[in-house]
Amino acid sequence: MTSRLEAVTLEVADAAAAAAFWAGLLGREAVPEPGGALVPGTETQVGLRFASSSTEQVGPRRLHLHVTSSSLEDQQQTVETALRLGGRHLDVGQSPEETFVVLADPGGNELCVIGPGNRFLAGTGHLGEVTCDGTRKVGLFWRDALGWPLVWDEGGETAVQSPYGGTKVSWGGPPVAPRHGRNRQRLDLVADDPRSEAERLVALGATLLADLGEGLNVRLELADPDGNEFALREA
């Protein structure tokens, strides 16, 4: 059995505040857990995990989130809700003509509230996309790692999506920004047999970085072909 994507993990100074923001924005619950909080996903919507960390972000973040809208009124309401929950407007050089609104959550993580009529995100649900910095090789790796079909492969850009639909995970292709130490954003996977699954992932191009825990608390840390860390634990 292949790995299952449990959540996107984002390290923040205040995990409870960031989790409360996203739970409120997406209409989910925030579940406290050791070292942070989880906003659980579903079969078609990716979960979000917020881990408390005192480290500071250096350089651009390796991923950000896209939230969809069904109408201009829905988009505006989503923006207003985000601001009420502790978000803020963010200037990343976007022009006034853009159909998306760029915000930051209480942890400083970028998100875009996408306007209505976006064909690429049609039918994906409210959390439409996790968009990452990465090469085509990484997109192909995650296709095989998760067993999710490739739904975009053009100009070095790639995207995968669960066979059941829902949130897409995409990689922007070259140029890829240089890494500055350990990533504060990563993907968290679960599997029935993490060590056997790690062997399969290494054969696909991953690198095993650490084997942590014993018994029922097996946790492994790996890196994808671009060197981005991800976690794997027992389901």
Instruction: Provide the pLDDT for residue 74.
Output: 98
- Tens digits of per-residue pLDDT, 202-214? 999 999 999 987 6
Pick from 39-48, 81-90, 91-100: least confident = 91-100
Instruction: Provide the pLDDT for residue 168.
Output: 98
pLDDT of 82 over the 70 cut:
yes
Instruction: Provide the pLDDT for residue 215.
Output: 60
157 three-class SS: strand
**What's the whole-number mean pLDDT along residues 151-165?**
97
Q: Give the whole-angstrom CA distance, residue 57 versus residue 179.
A: 11
107, amino acid identity:
G
Instruction: Provide the pLDDT for residue 107.
Output: 94
pLDDT of 200 over the 90 cut:
yes
**Is the model more confident about 29 or about 180?**
29
Whole-model pTM? Answer: 0.94
Instruction: Provide the pLDDT for residue 1.
Output: 63
Instruction: Provide the pLDDT for residue 59.
Output: 73
Beta strands per DSSP E along 77-177 = 88-89, 100-104, 110-114, 127-132, 150-154, 157-161, 168-171
- 157 pLDDT band, cuts 50/70/90, is very high
